[in-house]
Amino acid sequence: MADTFLVGIDGSAGARRALRFAGERAQASGAKLVLAFVFEWSHYDFLTPEELETRHRDRQEEIERSQREIVEPALAEVKASAPGVEAEGTVRHGHAAEALSILAEEVGAAQIFIGRRGTTKLSNLLFGSVASNLVQISPVSVTVVP
């Protein structure tokens, strides 16, 4: 059975480089790709029922938009640049590093590929980057593509 590679995508140039790199590795090894976009979304316990309904609708709209604008173009890129590679896409919400780690376990990923994004030194010190957080908490190897 072929391995599964998980690729974190966000529409950035770094994510596209990670996708191409993962596609090349998948093509060479016969691995399947799972492309995942994670948008930040937190739960609030103090909202009214009307606010919860609105948030649910907004979240569904964001999932659909993300699928259409980020995941589907990335899947088309895999099809064009890595013929024969099986690929699927998904949209998740929550903290990106945590969501990717959980998804890696769910799909049985052998490895995660993610692009390194440019952040300011201050925000990196205060919050850390998704890539560095993922490297620390991932249950599988992580390749960070510059």
Q: What three-state secondary structure class fits 143? A: strand
% helix, strand, coil for the chain, step of 5:
55, 20, 25
In tens digits, the chain (146 residues) has pLDDT values of: 469 999 999 988 889 999 999 999 999 999 999 999 998 766 656 677 787 778 778 888 999 999 999 999 999 999 999 999 999 999 998 889 999 999 999 999 999 999 987 334 444 544 458 899 999 999 999 999 98
Give residue for tokens 């492309």: 35
Structure tokens, 145: 């593509």
Phi-psi map region of 94: left, alpha, beta (phi>0 left; psi -120 to 50 alpha): left
The residue type found at 107 is: V
Tokens (6 digits) for 1:
């059975």
Residue located via tokens 């249950």: 139
pTM for the full predicted model: 0.86
